[in-house]
Structure 1
Amino acid sequence: MAFQDLLDQVGGLGRFQIIQMAFLLIYNAMAQTHTLLENFTAVILGHRCWVHILDNATVSDNDTGTLSQEALLRISIPLDSNLRPDKCHRFIHPQWQLLHMNGTFSNMSEVDTEPCMDGWVYDRSSFLSTTVTEWDLVCESQSLNSVSKFFFMAGMLVGNIVYGTLSDRFGRRLLLTWCLLQLAVADTCATFAPTFLVYCSLRFLAGMSTSTILTNAILLIVEWTSPKYQAMGTTMAVCATSFGNILLGSLAFAIRNWHTLQLVLSIPMFFFFISSRYELPFVFLFHLGINVFLVQVLLGVVKLPANYLSLWALKHRGHRISIFFFMSMMGITLLATIFVPSEMSTVCMILTTLGGGICFASITCSLTQANELLPTVIRATAFGIIGVCGSLGAAVAPLLMTLETYAEPLPWIIYAASCIFTSLVVFLLPETRNHQLPDSLQDIENGGKGSRKTELEDPSIKVTHF
């Protein structure tokens, strides 16, 4: 007798499954906050060079006469091509003559300027500190800010490969428990990292564990429920990440110091690690120029109705048509952003929130379809491969934004085209709505003939098989 058949007899959603699901949903929500953590802890703040007459606390007002801060800034910092104070250069000597001129010399920035030899002054109106201010990841070092994000995504990729295989071999629960501990230790230690290299290494370890928590939590929910409740379980698992988004956006708004924020989100993981031993058997917001705190919360809020819509579609319209609808709509939404100027911040925010909701719904549908296509014996490994593809997409997406230098709409066209293409390819997959989860490769081979469905419906075959 297959495990799913046995589960149907003892109850597909009893007290055990409900308690287990509750804890797994909490793990999913908290793991999601670590996935998006650097949206707030690695923000590049406004900055300029430190200059003696402007920023030295020992310089008195008498030393500079009655000059205002704006005047001192003008004689100390050159203007860039957009006629704004340059972020990475300063005048070697104060240019007093600029106080009596309406314009600037075109060649002055080449002759009389130098890099920021004494550090930078940061605009701390939005954030008190970030990893950027911690290690001065600006100007010639600004590319290092992307390195830390790359390390985290690379960790997710490696985690999907390594831990996905180990989950199939040693069990979901064991690897989930280990990854909760690894995430707690890695991101707690990252808070106190003495160097940027150590910080990146710890974020790599955090990425490895985060992907496994998200994957194994969904697998445990699905595999311990009957087919009748599997779509609901997957939807609730994805919905849990929306609470993670809301929690992260709310805490980041209240806590503007990156050390404190990371610590607040990391310490609870130790308690979840302990509970798992006794209760158990997924760049563009700094780009759109809109309120990152508000959008983070809105994305969390919109995920709830979006996933309810996806659950309704999965139940009443089939899995393939649901994926096709949400993926094609996401492509259309991305194309719409091309025609909205950045000055229309409200419209940009609406499109971003709508696109996020559609994206969440498509993820729910895709995870449900994948769960029902893959046999139990290789499900975690296959989900690891799927996670690798997701991590590669997450790593490539920011790089595609560099194509804006050639044509501003080009990245968005690529994103939209890939969504629309994917929505069409899904029709090559079989429809799995209301089908049993396959336990073995043999079930996959016999699935087209409906052998398992026949076994469940025909008592004589059941007796013969037993």
Structure 2
Amino acid sequence: MSFGEVLEHVGSMQRFQFIYVTLLAIPVFMMASHMVLQNFTAATPDHYCAFRHDPCHRFVHYQWWLLNATILNGTGVNATAAKMETEPCSDGWVYDRSVFRDTIVTEWDLVCSARTLKPMAQSVYMAGVLLGGIVFGGLSDRFGRRLILIWCYLQLAIGGTVTAFSSSFSVYCALRFLTGMAFSGIVLNCVSLCVEWTPTRTRAILGTLNGCAYTTGQMLLAGMAYLIPDWRWLQLAVSLPYFIFFIYSWWFVESARWLVTAGKLDRAVKELKRVAKMNGKHEAAAELDTEFLRSKMKEELASMKSTYSILDLVRTPNMRRISCCVSFVWFSTSFAYYGLVMDLQNFGNNIYLIQLIFGAVDFPAKFISVLTISYIGRRFTQATTLILAGMTILTNIFIPQEMQTVRTALAVFGKGCLGASFNCIYLYTGELYPTVLRQTGMGLCNTMARLGAMVAPVVKMSSDYIPFLPHVIYGSAPIVSGLAAAFLPETLNVPLPETVEQVEKR
């Protein structure tokens, strides 16, 4: 009997699972708010110096002798003809606050020569997300999913709240780094707990529901940002709810799969009994004991090592192939995705509407993807969505700038494909890796995704030299990774592997 059969014994998709998955999904509504928050808190409004010349220069003084000559000649006063000298702004800027009342850009003057600090702040946040994947992925496989998830809720609640009171840009970046780390821990452990407490047949639907919760959060952020134009209050609004999530997360049940693979059979029995009672399986709860688990999972327990490391992800042939292909898929999906969603100001004047559209497109995209995931397969869905996204981005190179509506429509379609790719890869990765290394593998993939997100703003800056180069890179990466996804094994209707040996035999 595998753990899947043990789960069926105590109730695989009943009252406990519905409550558990719902409580895990609620915080996901606010996750998108933190990831793309800088679209609003770091928006750059129109600005200019005193004695306006252009957004980044001011007049030094009038060339009066030229001005007088112009008047004497009867040609009138012409500022351009007067050839006024300019210099960089030294006395601050005047900002148009009609759309964005207060952002970190207006707070710390992140414009002109300091404009690179704005993408740097997002890269610092992504660096935190990257490190969080490495740190919390390994810690979750060592100490359990529940404990690390509770800690990450608290870290994000405190870090996000204190960020709203930042006294300087450097303090802001440091606190955003910490919230980024917590973001990774929450995402990784929510996915694993959902996967490890639910049966194979429901994972695609549950993964999609979690993805839709994230999508709804993107749309919710557009409304919140419109109603709360001050960046500090908006930062508070998306952070304070995590104190509530931290409080109720103490009710969460630890993953019994992980407890078994960690050799903690007594606690695994305790958690399984709790689930059985919540599901009304009182007879099953009475039968459960350590000998029952040991007899039913004899093969899995016999093949488990006491400790595993990240090297086990590449030590054997199948694990090495999975790790390489999945890492590339995560990198390119995140790279292209954040290349699009973190640059909303270039898609139209109404950033709130664009955010709403970019969020809404994920609903049909994820609905279609869950159908293909459930009936055709994970591998087909992963490869197809990536290749379509890449081709769409490349197509935009040939659309004239004047056709803004067409360009935006293509970008929205590409974003939908990438959203579907994310929907698939979260589920797919959890099914490819064995329980003993699932969080370590998810941590590696999360690291690759955050590397992609960190590189995306840097690539965007290359448009200063070759305007179409970012689109070439953003489009090529998903196509190549889509081809790499074809080398992954199919996991449709396949039980979760518990050990490395089971992955190698698959």
Partner of 2:35: 35
Q: What does residue 203 of structure 2 align with?
A: 230
**1:104 aligned to 2:163?**
no
Other-structure match for 2:168:
195
- 1:291 aligns with 350
CA distance in 1, matches of 2:117, 2:391: 34
Correspondent of 2:421 among 362, 373, 381? 362
CA, structure 1 residues 417+181, in 2 after alignment: closer, same or farther (shift >3 Å)? same
1:143 is displaced (CA, Å) by: 1.6
- Higher mean alpha-carbon deviation, 356-365 vs 345-354, is at 345-354
Aligned-partner Cα distance in 2 for 1:183–1:232 = 27
Residue-by-residue CA offset, 1:234-293 (whole Å, 9 max, x unaligned): 111111100110111111111111111111111111111111112554622223345321
1:152 aligns with 2:97: no
Residue 24 of structure 1 aligns with an amino acid whose one-letter code is: L
Cα drift, residue 407 of structure 1:
2.4
| Residue matched to 2:156 | 183
Q: CA deviation at 1:346?
A: 2.1
**Change over 3 Å in CA distance of 1:276–1:94 after alignment to 2:** farther
Query: CA separation of 1:106/1:368 partners in 2, compared to 1, >3 Å: closer, same or farther?
Result: farther
1:444 partner SS: helix
* Counterparts of 2:102 and 2:62, CA distance in 1: 29
Which residue matches 1:424? 483
Q: Is structure 2 residue 284 aligned with structure 1 residue 316?
A: no
* Equivalent residue in structure 2 for 1:77, among 39, 45, 52: 52
Equivalents in 1 of 2:63, 2:5: separation in Å? 83
Change (3 A) 1:161 1:20: same
Structure 2: gaps of 5 or more residues: 255-333, 335-341
Contact 1:252 1:261 (C-alpha < 8 Å) held by counterparts: yes
Q: Normalising to structure 1: TM-score of the pair? A: 0.84
Answer yes or no: is 1:91 the counterpart of 2:59.
Answer: yes
Give yes or no for contact 2:39–2:343 (8 Å, CA) kept in 1: no
Bigger shift: 144-153 or 194-203?
144-153
State the Cα deviation string for residues 117-174 of structure 1 (Å, max 9, x = none): 2211001111000001111111222222222111100000100000110011111111
In structure 1, list runs of 5 or more residues that go unmatched.
52-75, 79-85, 448-466
Matches within 5 A, 1:190-269: 190-269=163-242
Kindly state the Cα deviation for residue 77 of structure 1 after the two structures are TM-superposed. 2.6
What is the rounded CA distance, in whole Å, between the counterparts of 1:354 and 1:94 in structure 2? 51
Within the candidate set 377, 390, 399, 1:340 is matched to: 399
Q: Which residue of 1 aligns with 2:113?
A: 140
* 1:10 positional shift: 2.5
Inter-CA distance 342–10: structure 2 relative to 1 (3 Å threshold): same
Letter in 1 for 2:246: F
What does residue range 10-21 of structure 1 map to in structure 2 within 5 Å? 10-21=10-21
Determine the C-alpha separation between the residues in 2 that align with 1:291 and 1:219.
38
Residue 114 of structure 1 aligns to a residue whose secondary structure is strand
Q: Distance in 2 between matches of 1:342 and 1:129?
A: 30
Out of 451, 455, 458, the position equivalent to 1:399 is: 458
Q: Judging changes above 3 Å, is the alpha-carbon distance between structure 1 residues 92 and 290 closer, same or farther for their aligned structure 2 residues?
A: closer
**Higher mean displacement: 27-36 or 128-137:** 27-36
CA deviations on 1:356-379 (whole Å, 9 max, x unpaired) are: 211111111222221111001111
Deviation at 1:296, TM superposition (A): 1.3
2:2 — aligned with what?
A: 2
Q: Work out the CA distance in 1 between the residues paired with 2:52 and 2:504.
A: 70
Asked if 2 retains the 8 angstrom alpha-carbon contact of 1:372 and 1:437, the reply is yes
CA distance in 2, matches of 1:274, 1:95: 67
Is the alpha carbon distance of 1:277 and 1:106 closer, same or farther for their aligned partners in structure 2, counting shifts above 3 Å? farther
CA distance in 1, matches of 2:95, 2:4: 58
Of 127-136 and 22-31, deviating more is 22-31
Distance 1:429 1:279 in 2: 33
- Work out the CA distance in 1 between the residues paired with 2:349 and 2:187: 28
2 CA distance for matches of 1:195 and 1:43? 17
Percent of pairs with identical residues: 42
| 1:89–1:8 Cα change, 3 Å | same
- The residue that corresponds to 1:413 in the other structure is 472
Contact 1:289 1:342 in 2 (8 A): no
Aligned AA for 2:423? T
Deviation at residue 106 of structure 1 after TM alignment: 9.0
2: CA distance between counterparts of 1:37 and 1:147?
A: 14
- Are 1:288 and 1:342, in contact at CA under 8 Å, matched by a contact in 2? no
| Paired amino acid for 2:150 | T
CA RMSD across the alignment: 1.9
In 2, are the aligned partners of 1:12 and 1:229 still within 8 Å (CA)? no
Q: Work out which of the residue numbers 65, 88, 113 in structure 2 matches 1:115.
A: 88
What letter is aligned with 1:377? V
Q: Is the 8 A contact 2:63 2:83 kept in 1?
A: no
- Structure 1 distance, partners of 2:195, 2:363, is 19
User: SS of 2:445's equivalent?
Assistant: helix
Q: Per the alignment, in what secondary structure is the counterpart of residue 94 of structure 2?
A: strand
